Amino acid sequence: MILCLRISAAFILVLSLAGVGCSNDKAASAAGETSAPQSASQSANPSTSPAKAVEPAGPALHIDAARAMQYTKEIVAFGPRWDSSKPIEQVRAYIKGKLKGVQVEEDSFVAETSAGKMPMTNIVAKFPGSKDGIIVLGSHYETNYWLRNTPFVGANDGAATSALLLAIADQLRGKKLEGYSIWIAFLDGEESFTREWRTNDALWGSRHLAKKLQDDGASKKVKAFVLADMIGDADLDICRDENSTPWLEDLLLQAATHLGYQSHFFASTTAVEDDHIPFSHAGMPVLDVIDIDYGYNNSFHHTVQDTVDKLSVESLKISGDVILETIRLINGMGDNPPRAPQQKVPS
C-alpha cells in the first residue's frame, strides 16, 4: 500500500497554502505535478545524471504485447494469489513453466509477518550477457493477504507486470546479449500484510533479495534495478519517482521520447515506497516504472475492480518497449554508471 501527495500544476499555489493532497497505497510522498515530461536531472546533482543523451547499445527489441496480455489473463485465471494460498503455488509453477530453457533460481524463505510465518519464494531468471555487470528487472506477483476474503485478482497490480516480464524473457531467451547480463526477478511479498502500509510488514521478497546480493557481493555488479509496477493501465500515465535514481529516470524519459511515447511519462511526480527501496539502500541504482493513478482518483487500486478489462495491449507494449530501450541506454553508458550510496538492508 502507498501514501501519496500530488499537486496539480494548476493548483500549486492553493495546495501550498492549504496543504491539500490525496492518498494512494504505494507512495510515501510527492512533489509537484508538471504539465509536460520533465528530466529528473533538472533538480538532481549533475554528477549523478547523464550530462547529455546516451547512445543505445545493442539491437532494438520489442515485446509481443498481445502475448503479454494473454499471460496476464492466465495469471488472473488462477484467482486471488495471496501468500500461503493454493493459487500462489500454481502461479509459481506457471512462471517457472514459461521460463523453460532458461537458468532459473528459486529462493525460498520464511517471512515473519504480522499474520504469522509465511513461506515465500523469489524466482530469478538469468540471461548471461557479454559484459561484466547485471541489470535486474523486477515485479511482484502475489496479491494482498488482507484482501484474501474478496475476489481481488490484482490484474494490474502484480499480474500484468509479471506477465510483462515473461514477455521480455521471451525476447531474451536464446539470444547472446551484447551488454550486461539481465536477471528477471519475480518477487514475493511486496504487499503489506495489513491494510495500512507498514514497511516492516511489506517488501519481503525485495528485502530478502537485496540483502542476499549485498551479502554475497553481487550488488556491486548490479548496474540498475528496474521495477515494473501497475503499468498495464489502459490510461497509462507513468510518474516520475523521487525515490528512484535521477540518471535512470532521465534514461527512461529518453527511451520513451525516442520511441514516441513521451506523453505517457512524467506528467506528475511522486515519491514511491515500493520494491526498489531495499535495492537502493544496498547501493544499487534503482528505477520504479509505475503508474500510481489507477482509475478515477485511484478508485481501482486494491479493489475488486482491478480486473483485466481495465488494461490494454497498447499500454503493455509501451511499457515493455520503453523498458527494453532503457536497457539499451544503460548498456550505452559504458562500464561505470554512477553508484548510489550504500546502506545496510534491513532483514
Half-sphere exposure (Cβ direction) of 226: Cα atoms closer than 13 Å:
30
Rounded-to-integer distance, Cα 210 and Cα 20, Å: 35
What is the amino acid identity at position 222? Answer: V
Rounded-to-integer distance, Cα 12 and Cα 21, Å: 11
- Residues 311/155, Cβ–Cβ less than 8 Å: yes
Q: What is the pLDDT of residue 322?
A: 98
Evaluated on CA atoms 326, 327, 332, 334, the torsion sign reads positive
In a 3-state reduction of DSSP, which class is residue 281? Answer: helix
Rounded-to-integer distance, Cα 198 and Cα 193, Å: 8
Rounded-to-integer distance, Cα 220 and Cα 42, Å: 27
Q: Mark out the alpha helices in the chain (DSSP H runs).
A: 12-18, 65-76, 86-98, 160-172, 204-215, 246-258, 277-281, 313-332
Distances 142 to 126, 137, 152, 156 between C-alpha atoms, Å: 21, 17, 11, 12
Q: What is the CATH number of domain 35-332?
A: 3.40.630.10
Residue whose entry in the numeric block shows the C-alpha cell 547485471: 134
> Residue 159 gets which letter from DSSP?
I
Residue whose entry in the numeric block shows the C-alpha cell 554512477: 338
Set of cell numbers at residue 58? 545493442
Please state the φ and ψ torsions of residue 63, each to the nearest 5 degrees: -80, 160
pTM of the predicted protein model? 0.89
Q: What is the pLDDT of residue 342?
A: 59
pLDDT in tens, the chain (347 residues): 344 444 333 333 333 333 333 345 665 443 444 444 555 554 444 334 554 789 999 999 999 999 999 999 999 999 999 999 999 999 999 999 999 999 999 999 999 999 999 999 999 999 999 999 999 999 999 999 999 999 999 999 999 999 999 999 999 999 989 999 999 999 999 999 999 999 999 999 999 999 999 999 999 999 999 999 999 999 999 999 999 999 999 999 999 999 999 999 999 999 999 999 999 999 999 999 999 999 999 999 999 999 999 999 999 999 999 999 999 999 999 766 666 565 555 55
> If we measure between CA atoms, which residue out of 40, 5, 35 comes closest to residue 23?
5
